A and B are shown apart, each in its own frame.
Chain A
């Protein structure tokens, strides 16, 4: 038991940090809550390093400390640090600032649990915990838009959560166990087992905003503060993707799950980018873009069990996605939410514009940026697994994605219609720090991918 706890040190550190931040907030010391959150998350990241080459399950197989869950910590914990900096930059000084940090930490904890899930009960718990924190975060501003968004989010999550619990009961019925590694036995009753599979896909599909379970996402991101949208589009989403990977890795092939996931990938990528194409609100545009990016993750999931590249591609793309998406949102925070706000920024704000171009081109998958490396590995994994057609559709979608991201780039380098009055330039320090770090990672992951890949061999 004590040994099991030792493997959970990072999660425990996050939990303690959340408690500390909560106490600080009760004492009305939001600054301390902020500092504690950042410090705690960094400590938790440090505590993860010794686990790098560990592959065990703890608490009788309910939680896995393996390559996926360790890398989830190494990606999500620093990503949460960046998100906390953004929250501070946007909501700092508001009435309930400290609660935002607490909720962010709880949702991160839930996402880490999802990424290492080894048991259906833990899966349900983690999804619910992540959901509860997320609703409150979306509703944080307490205005009409936020409340409506949170309400929609809540209803959606309740229904999909209920469906998931119902469906998982079938698996329990067949295998007599809640452990995920017992699901190899589902092959005996493929039809009933499929019901469970669909239920899991619905439950996690909503969390990862896969089409057709994505409806909440654009509204929630739009209603929420930008920093919260940035956070929700990265951390819980990657957690849910990793959870899906943990669920399907033991499933028997009789269920044809890879074909189902492949079809979802096509739907998600294509719909996401088509919808993004007509948005004029950059937050909504990035929301649909992050829906589409979730579809790319599925290319790696499809290949699980069939290609040695599967896990590495998911992890590398997750790291890339976290960096470029947080960076893009940080710059939306600085520039404004509408496409018009970006017009002519190429001339008036050359440095941040170059950074934005880097993030957008990386999202589109242009080499040598991080997004390219991730997508390249994902394409390779799905071709290796025999899904060449899926890789081709993904590549076609990359072209479509370019049209989406170029809309922002073209606007930035267009001449502004109005002659700008000399505005006083204040450099928002915290959000600038965030995009700077994100840009460094977006540029560097291509060169440093080896670090991640090496861990697999």
Chain B
């Protein structure tokens, strides 16, 4: 069997080495290499998708000895939770490369870092060895730091530093937890499959490990009150960086929440499930209300991320609390699908904000007006993405959030107050749309060009998938459901 997972995983790294080899190559060639490499990676991810998954455990396993003396090995594979995320990452990186083909400031370094980031992202989702997971998890951090620090906006150095220190501080407790699980397993191993099969820790040790992990993933997701790095990083990051940060990297947090906290420490998670649930609720509501108060469009989108990621946390907490496996599966289906939807919708929104900023050099919403008439394609694209973001039925977020709320009602009915968040997001997006796109056209923006061909190519796959998943989510949900139904927690 051809090792398609490893090929997909290391394809971007190969491309990065290629770019490093051609240090004198013109910017155009460098970007072409980037686009082609990520295109091949996307094809690899599609082949992985076509090969499918098993109903229990992991599929498409590939292993290699690494440090057998301490039970660490190179192990990769996918299940219904990670496979959709791999596909999402590959797609987002591919369109990001198309969008960034205009970058002329140190294009070599830019493409190398982005490709490195792609390997780190796919590696995080496919790793089945805890050390390997941690390695990819941290490599992504370094690449993103340079991404923000080198190609960001005015105050980028500070934001990049804050991002780096915050998330590194956040990820170190995970290291402790991993060490604890390793020492608790018998025989000692870093094999995540073994940890999921036989949770190595119990009692107080399990609770301590869980608290450490929850801290890590709460920073990464981010969950209120650990979210403060997020708006700063997003505002300063270049548009492509924001897309990857929100679309792919935030998912590390929620993916880890399911893979590590829920699957490896189910007993402990059940005990603190309500606490996690409350954090999720606060996060979702806080994100919505904070977004409402923004005038900067990018900050607004950043805060809605906090809101949407909050729903995922709620879904996972409900899955931990649920006793009926069917309800648990519903909650997890919703959570995983929400990750995909959020990647597509927020990715599209950050691209659109970037396109607006490229044209107008400002993101203050009150500076605009009547853009729908001047730039109709841009305007309608934004309206579509914004409606998806507020959870309109028929668009990508609806089937995901619906399942989360359905499971919530059955397990912890009080938590349904979070539905208020949807009302608030609806309000804030309508306000944004009316300020930017409706009303009197501001003469200042007369002659603003509509979307270029490259921008259209960037957006089309995302917008199309938003509609497809909204109307017919079954092709993704079936894959997710196959795994979530058979989790023995």
- Residue among B66, B157, B183 making CB contact with A414, cutoff 8 Å: B157
- Kindly state the separation between the CA atoms of A449 and B149 in the bound complex, as whole angstroms: 32
Flag if B69 contacts A379 (CB, 8 Å).
no
Residue-wise, chain A 395-427 has the 8 Å CB interface mask toward B (1 for contact) of: 110110011001000100110000000000000
Residue A165 is within 8 A (CB to CB) of chain B in the complex: no
Nearest Cβ distance between residue A445 and chain B, in whole angstroms? 11
Which of B172-180, B191-199, B369-377, B475-483 lies at the binding interface?
B172-180
Question: Do the beta carbons of A395 and B150 come within 8 Å of each other?
Answer: no
Q: Could you tell me if B138 and A380 are in contact, using CB atoms closer than 8 angstroms?
A: no
Tell whether, in the assembled complex, residue A402 and residue B66 are in contact, meaning their CB atoms are under 8 Å apart.
no
How many of A's residues come within 8 Å of B, CB to CB? 35
B228-247: which residues lie under 8 A (CB-CB) from chain A?
none
A409–chain B nearest beta-carbon distance, Å: 9
Given contacts A366-B168, A383-B183, A450-B65, 7 further A-B contacts (CB under 8 A): A350-B109, A367-B134, A379-B175, A380-B70, A384-B183, A403-B165, A446-B135
Q: Which of B152-194 contact A (CB under 8 A)?
A: 157, 161, 164-165, 168-169, 172-173, 175-176, 179-180, 182-183
Cβ–Cβ < 8 Å partners of B131 in chain A: 367, 376
Whether, in the assembled complex, A456 has its beta carbon less than 8 Å from a beta carbon of chain B, the answer is yes
Residues on the A chain within 8 Å of B161, using CB:
406, 410
Asked whether any CB of chain A lies closer than 8 Å to the CB of B1, the reply is no
Number of A-B contacts (CB under 8 A): 75
Quick check: A456 and B69 within 8 Å, CB to CB? yes
In the complex, residue of chain B having the shortest beta-carbon distance to the beta carbon of A346: B150
Residues of A within 8 A of B180 (CB): 383
Complex alpha-carbon distance, A180 and B299, angstroms: 65
Q: Is A121 an interface residue (CB 8 A)?
A: no
Q: Are A380 and B135 in contact (CB under 8 A)?
A: no
What's the Cα separation between A380 and B135 when bound, in Å?
A: 16
Give the chain A neighbours of B175 by CB distance below 8 A: 376, 379, 395
Q: B150 touching A457 by the CB < 8 A rule?
A: no
Q: Are B69 and A410 in contact (CB under 8 A)?
A: no
Q: Are A450 and B176 in contact (CB under 8 A)?
A: no
| A27 interface residue per 8 A CB criterion | no
Q: Does A454 contact B (CB under 8 A)?
A: yes
Partner of A391 from B66, B70, B150, B176 at Cβ < 8 Å = B176
Asked if B68 is at the interface of the complex by the 8 Å CB criterion, the answer is yes
Taking the nearest CB of chain B, how far is it from the CB of A368, in angstroms? 4
Q: Judge whether B69 and A453 touch: CB under 8 Å.
A: yes
Known contacts A391-B179, A399-B165, A402-B164; A368 and B135 CB within 8 A of each other: yes
CB closest residue in chain B, given A395 = B172
- CB of A276, distance to nearest CB on chain B (Å): 16
Residues of B within 8 A of A366 (CB): 138, 141-142, 168
A450-B172 contact given A367-B134, A406-B161, CB 8 Å threshold: no
Q: DSSP majority for the A interface?
A: helix
B416 within 8 A of A: no
B445 at the interface (CB under 8 A from A): no
Q: Chain B 102-138 against A: per-residue CB contact (8 Å), 1 yes, 0 no?
A: 0000000100000000000000000000010011001
Q: Do the beta carbons of B179 and A454 come within 8 Å of each other?
A: no
Interface size on B, residues (CB 8 A): 31
Q: Which of A426-447 contact B (CB under 8 A)?
A: 446-447
Chain B interface helix/strand/loop/mixed: helix
Nearest-neighbour CB distance to chain A for B23, whole angstroms, equals: 9
- Known contacts A376-B131, A399-B169, A447-B66: A383-B164 contact under CB 8 Å: no
- In the assembled complex, how far is the CB of residue A248 from the closest CB belonging to chain B, in whole angstroms? 22
Given contacts A367-B139, A391-B176, A395-B172, contact A453 B70 (CB under 8 A): yes
The reply to whether the CB of B67 lies closer than 8 angstroms to some CB of chain A is yes
Distance (whole angstroms) from the CB of A412 to the closest CB of chain B:
11
Task: State whether the Cβ of B146 lies closer than 8 Å to any Cβ in chain A.
Answer: yes
Task: Name the residue of chain B whose CB is nearest to the CB of A380.
Answer: B179
Q: Which 7 A-B pairs have the closest CB atoms?
A: A453-B69, A367-B135, A368-B135, A395-B172, A450-B67, A367-B138, A399-B169
The answer, among A380, A391, A402, A447, for a CB contact under 8 Å with B168, is A402
CB distance from B406 to the nearest CB of A (A): 40
Contacts A368-B135, A380-B179, A395-B172; is A413 near B164 (CB within 8 Å)? Answer: no
Tell me which of B65, B66, B138, B179 contacts A379 (CB under 8 A).
Answer: B179
| Residues in A whose Cβ lies below 8 Å from that of B146 | 413
Nearest chain A CB to B175's CB is how many angstroms away?
Answer: 7
A68 an interface residue at 8 Å Cβ cutoff?
A: no
B-contacting residues, A298-355, CB 8 Å: 309, 312, 350
Q: Which of B141, B149, B183 contacts A413 (CB 8 A)?
A: B149
Complex CA distance for A399 and B138, rounded to whole angstroms:
13
Residue contacts A-B, CB under 8 angstroms, 11 given: A366-B141, A367-B131, A367-B134, A367-B135, A367-B138, A376-B175, A380-B183, A396-B172, A403-B165, A410-B149, A447-B66
Q: How far is the CA of A190 from the CA of B161 in the complex (A)?
A: 50
Give every chain B residue within 8 A of A155 (Cβ-Cβ). none
CB atoms of A361 and B139 under 8 A apart: no
Query: Chain B residues with Cβ under 8 A from A406's Cβ?
Result: 161, 164-165
**What are the residues of chain B within 8 A of A410 when measuring CB–CB?**
149, 157, 161
Q: Is the CB of B165 within 8 A of A450?
A: no
| Cβ of A160 to closest chain B Cβ, rounded Å | 34
How far apart are the CA atoms of A414 and B161 in the complex, in Å? 13
Assembled-state Cα–Cα distance A192/B305 (Å): 64
* Given A367-B134, A399-B168: A453 and B176 interface contact (C-beta under 8 Å): no
Cβ distance B304 to chain A, nearest Cβ, rounded Å = 30
Q: A406 to B162, alpha carbons, bound, how many Å?
A: 11
CA distance A377 to B190 in the complex (A): 13
Chain B residues lying within 8 Å of A395, measured Cβ to Cβ, are 172-173, 175-176
Q: Mark B214-229, 1 if CB is under 8 A from A, else 0.
A: 0000000000000000
* A413 x B150 contact (CB < 8 A): yes
Give Cα A7 to B161, complex, Å.
Answer: 52
Q: Kindly list chain B residues whose C-beta atoms are within 8 Å of the C-beta of A384.
A: 183
Q: Give Cα distance in the complex from A48 to B176, angstroms.
A: 36
A6 interface residue, CB < 8 Å from B? no
Residue interface bits A270-308, CB-to-B below 8 A is 1, else 0: 000000000000000000000000000000000000000
A259 part of interface (Cβ distance < 8 Å): no
C-alpha spacing A383/B65, complex, angstroms: 25
